Amino acid sequence: MEVLDIIRKHVSTVTGLRSNPNVRESWETTPIRQFWLARVYVASILYGYFLKSVSLRYNLERSLSLSDHDLHHGHKTGPSFQDMYRSGPKDVMLGNKSDIRSVRRGLIGQEEEIEDLTCYVTGFHPGSFERCAKLRSKEAVHLVESHSNALFGDGKSGLSQHDDVIVTSFSSLRRLVLEAVAFGSFLWETEDYIDNVYKLKDQVVE
């Protein structure tokens, strides 16, 4: 439910629509530049990708912290998760299964109970936030680019050269943003699954 609440806030922020709009508000139309719509779509894909990664990390850290609190009676012996990410391998943040044991060792002894997911996300270090939202593989980058170009056109080919203005309803805009968030979440899961079988090419972090 926490994830759904965060997604609702994202949709509301992007579309300017209230969380629970009435029928009249939902079907009101608005002019939107195609270029802007494409950027919103890609940003929402990355948001869904980020949210999937963070929610898994949050659930893991919370379960380990709470279970370890019962075992060690609150004796803190390890660094926080954000500290581990800043000084450790990127796979810790991105959720590779092979690093779960190293995360376990780093999290042992955390006595404080982790807050809700929203507080957890807002407490991220800016650099960690940016890196966690960055697509891990070159294949994922290519897929998002191709998918976006297929929907909105590629400026290089002249399909969106004039930056056309389209008219759409807020309801349609809301569905588009939700689709993008779901696509990003699915992309994270698929990328993680495929990488266990076929080594994907890492996206270079600049």
Give the per-residue pLDDT at 93. Answer: 40
Q: What percent of the chain has a predicted confidence (pLDDT) above 90?
A: 16
Residue 202: inside a domain: no
Residue 71: inside a domain: yes
Residue 201: inside a domain: no
The range of the structural domain enclosing residue 155 comes to: 2-195
Question: pLDDT: is 21 or 85 the higher one?
Answer: 21
How many whole angstroms separate alpha carbon 46 and alpha carbon 64?
27
Longest dimension (CA), the chain: 64
Residue 87: inside a domain: yes
pTM of the complete model: 0.69
Mean of all residue pLDDT scores within the chain? 74
Residue 84: inside a domain: yes
How many whole angstroms separate alpha carbon 31 and alpha carbon 109?
54
If you write DSSP's letter for every residue of 26-56 in order, what string do you get?
A: HT-EEEEEHHHHHHHHHHHHHHHHHHHHHHH
Write out pLDDT tens, residues 122-178. Answer: 777 777 777 777 888 888 899 999 999 988 887 555 444 556 888 888 888 889 999
Q: How many other C-beta atoms are found inside a 10 Å radius of the C-beta of residue 138?
A: 13
Write out pLDDT tens, residues 37-49. Answer: 999 999 999 999 9
Quote the tokens at residue 54. Answer: 């963070």
Main-chain dihedrals φ then ψ at residue 168, nearest 5 degrees? -140, 160
Residue 203: inside a domain: no
Structural domain tally of the chain?
Answer: 1
